[in-house]
Amino acid sequence: MMFRRFVFILVVVFSANWAFAQATQSEPETGDALAEQLRSMQPEESTEITGVLKIRASKRRADIPVLCRVVTNGNSWQVIYETRPTASCGAEKLIVIRSVNQPNKYLYSCAPSPGGILPDPKPLVSSDANIPFAGSDFWLTELGFEFLRWPIQRKLPGEMRIGQPCYVLESINPEAPLVVRVKSWIEKESGGLLIAEAYDRNKKIVKEFSLAGSSFKKVNGRWQLKKMKISSPQTESETVLEFDLPKD
């Protein structure tokens, strides 16, 4: 598997080039330094990809088309996630405005019914963005990598995961409502997130994200991810995001 030519966003993997090389010229000595490097990663070009959110829970089965875009704008950029309506749920739209040294900004909207009109996204403070996107296992704050801005960042000893050398970052926010600690395995050369585990204050795993078992495809000379998975053991639910890649 080749991971070194991409940077993985938690929900979407784009074929754009990302400015991580400069950030990784030196080994980050602390968790704060590593988190800052990851927050400083920004896209060099706008891009988009389509896919399907496949949600599987005890009382719900849903396949929801989704469009994922990155829009660059100088020192800030937008990551946009938009679903199309299905027979059982209305469209949703999330815009995460990110920049290197400023807090994330969240704009979110949800249609009132499958046939309802999607309103313009409205601002949300990060504390109100701990809600599922399109009923999936992904929260809005997870799509914004909010844990990289938490007050406590600890760098743990590096490990090999999925055959790649990784930094291990422990992010802690004692005041968070449910998930108070996130442990991440980050591929050293690309800065790509390979595995993440989210824990509650009772030290129980709330969510698990992993690229293990995911498939890759080479498109126009670049490796792209075909699918990824996140699961919530406590609710026995799982979401797979499968991307629409061009045919050979």
pLDDT tops 80 at residue 39 = yes
Instruction: Decide if 21 is inside a domain.
Output: no
Confidence of residue 40 (pLDDT cuts 50, 70, 90): confident
CB-based contacts of 208, cutoff 8 Å, min separation 6: 196, 197, 198, 230, 231, 233
Q: Give the mean model confidence (pLDDT) for residues 8-13.
A: 38
- Amino acid identity, position 204: K
- Would you state the pLDDT for residue 222? 52
Instruction: Please report, for the domain that includes residue 87, its CATH number.
Output: 2.50.20.10
Q: Look at the chain and report how many structural domains it folds into.
A: 1
Instruction: Decide if 26 is inside a domain.
Output: no
Q: Which of 156, 157, 147, 210 is nearest to 182 (CA)?
A: 147
Q: Is 99 exposed, middle or buried (0-12, 13-18, 19+ CB in 10 A)?
A: middle
Confidence of residue 31 (pLDDT cuts 50, 70, 90): very high
Torsion-angle region of residue 171: left (phi > 0), alpha (psi -120 to 50) or beta? beta
- Would you state the pLDDT for residue 142? 87
182 vs 45, residue with greater confidence? 182
Q: Give the mean model confidence (pLDDT) for residues 190-211.
A: 89
Domain of 43, in residue numbers: 31-243
212 vs 46, residue with greater confidence? 46
